[in-house]
A and B are shown apart, each in its own frame.
Chain A
Amino acid sequence: MRRRLIDILFASVVIGALLAAWELGVAYGYLKVYQFPPASRIAKGFVDLTTVGFPTGITVWSHTATTIGRILQGYAGALVLAIPLGFVIGSSRVLDKMTAPLIVFGRSIATLSLLPLAIVWFGTGELTKIVLIGYGCFWVMLSNVIAGVKYVDPVLLKAGRAYGASGIELARTVVLPAALPRIFAGARMALGVGFMVIVGAEMIGTVEGLGALIMEARTFYRSEITIVGMLIIGVLGFAISTGLMWLERALVPWGDPLAGVRR
């Protein structure tokens, strides 16, 4: 306990000293404010963002809400498509083998490389962003659902059949609970992917959303606003993944929270 306190104190002192050196470096002109806005300026940027907003009138909360709204729409679309499809593919050996190369390829396509094509098809509006997020989430989700269904312990299946379960009942009482931990892991990873995609997608053709905020702030030489935007993106990403992990532990306590197909 005591050792832990000393550790925290040590880390805080060193990090505090670094921040102070940064602040002084700017004050004495060794570092350019525009390139390395110090902590005090970043704090001021945050206040500006919450009161005045950037561009004027759009506060940071409305940027955040826009971004979350876009992610959720694409994410929900991907889950709705991927879960049933994954169940169908995962429960048939032939279908699984037939689709395996297609799924590997679908995942290998860099989601943002679809941006030009999506613009041709859907214009530069909301739909393009939602479709891109959906695409990124879809493959991660699909491969995890398939893996979850495919790798259900055969002993469980045999036991279920021995008790007379079959068809839909077997799927509901045995396959679904056994596959859920993987499905959850997939849902968590998919949200992470969606989060990555949105920042890139928002950098083009919009002034609303966190990705647009950080890009716009740069063009107006407001680097401290860029950094505030980045930190909010980071905090949001962290909160979402921690929240989902927590939800997962509460809802499927029988699963290993780290299970999941990495790639």
Chain B
Amino acid sequence: MKPGRTSDILLGLAGVAIVVAGWELLVRGGAVDPKLFPSPTMAFAEAAERLSAATVAQHTLWSLYRIVVGFLLGAVAGTVIGIAAGWYRGIGLVLRPIIELLRPIPPLAWIPLAIIWFGLGEPSKFFIIFLGAFFPVVTAAYVGITSVDPVLIRAAQTFGLRGPGLLLRVGLPAAAPDLLTGIRIGWGLAFGILVAAELIAADRGLGFMIMNERNTTGSVAVIVVGITLIGILNLITDWAIAAASQRYIGRWHGR
């Protein structure tokens, strides 16, 4: 642990404590209407009263299930297509213009088309999340594989490696750091998209939970707790992915 690390954490905690306490005091002091914006303690007490832990856990698991499936599909497809487009000239020539045309379209703009293609059920959500993960990953994979040091490739060829062996043992490892950055960005994007997809058309999941509370003029407390929960989940999973990729690429990438 570096010196000064502890004081940094203490300062951070102090910052959080000041904001939470200030929020609590403003509401308790009557400056903010608790019906519009409940204080942290009120929000948790009220949310706990209205929803059982099992219900919240169920919505959370549904959201996580959707994001994991959609993300895995997107990450795998993005890796394969990005690598293929970067490694094989012919494939790249055809796929790149198509990808570049579709890439600036935000994944959320695909929602209507996803409903047309897949209906209102789970597959349309998987598809939207898939897109959220796919585009950052495919771009990162392409950039990674096309910027592999040519010296590495020539050296490997000198040792007699070619074809798929060259791709798997030299190209892919050399592209891995870029690829993992793309995967992390893709995960963050997929997370933001998940909630939006659930807000618009779903009957379960965290996005649905908070939107439903609004539509049935339920309690703002549940909405506030739900938003916080989604934020915390995003934060924890992002840290986990960052830590995992650090461990994996730390071996040959000095970061």
Residues of B within 8 A of A215 (CB): 111-112
Whether B213 contacts A116 by the Cβ 8 Å rule is yes
Interface size class of A (residues with CB under 8 A): 35 or more
Q: How far is the CA of A211 from the CA of B106 in the complex (A)?
A: 10
Interface locus among A45-53, A73-81, A165-173, A229-237: A229-237
Residues on B with C-beta less than 8 A from A241 are 104
A113 and B210 in contact, given A11-B97, A108-B235, A230-B110 (Cβ under 8 angstroms): yes
Please report the C-alpha to C-alpha distance between residue A114 and residue B61 in the assembled complex, in whole angstroms. 20
Q: Which residues of B sit under 8 angstroms from A109, Cβ to Cβ?
A: 227-228, 230-231, 234
Segment of B165-173, B193-201, B247-255 engaged in the interface with chain A: B193-201
Give min CB distance, B166 to chain A, whole Å. 23
Evaluate whether A218 and B235 lie within 8 angstroms (CB atoms) in the complex, with A110-B230, A116-B214, A234-B104 already known: no
Scoring B residues 218 to 245 as 1 if CB is less than 8 Å from chain A, else 0, what string do you get? 0010011011101110110010000000
Most central of A99, A100, A115, A227 by chain B CB within 10 Å: A115
**Of the residues A100, A108, A204, A218, contact of B112 by C-beta under 8 Å:** A218
Q: Is A14 an interface residue (CB 8 A)?
A: yes
Flag if B231 contacts A108 (CB, 8 Å): yes
Within 8 A of A (CB), among B74-109: 90, 93-94, 96-98, 101-109
> Contact flags (1/0) for A94-116 with B, using CB distance below 8 Å?
10011111101100111111111
Interface residue from B12, B196, B238 paired with A112 (Cβ < 8 Å):
B196
Main secondary structure of the interface of B (DSSP, over half): helix
**Contact between chains at A110 and B192 (CB < 8 Å):** yes
Number of interface residues of B (CB under 8 A): 63
Instruction: Tell whether, in the assembled complex, residue B15 and residue A263 are in contact, meaning their CB atoms are under 8 Å apart.
Output: no
CA distance A35 to B104 in the complex (A): 22
- A97-B12, A117-B224, A117-B227 given; A196·B106 CB < 8 A: yes
Inter-chain contacts of A245 with B (CB < 8 A): none
Residue of A nearest to B37 (CB): A121
Cross-chain contact A34 with B223 (CB below 8 angstroms): no
Q: Is the CB of A238 within 8 A of B195?
A: no
Contact A226 B112 (CB under 8 A): yes
Q: B11 an interface residue at 8 Å Cβ cutoff? A: yes
Quick one: CB contact mask for A172-210 with B, threshold 8 Å, 1 for yes? 000000000000000000000001100110011000001
A43 interface residue (CB < 8 Å to B): no
Complex Cα spacing A105 to B229, Å: 11
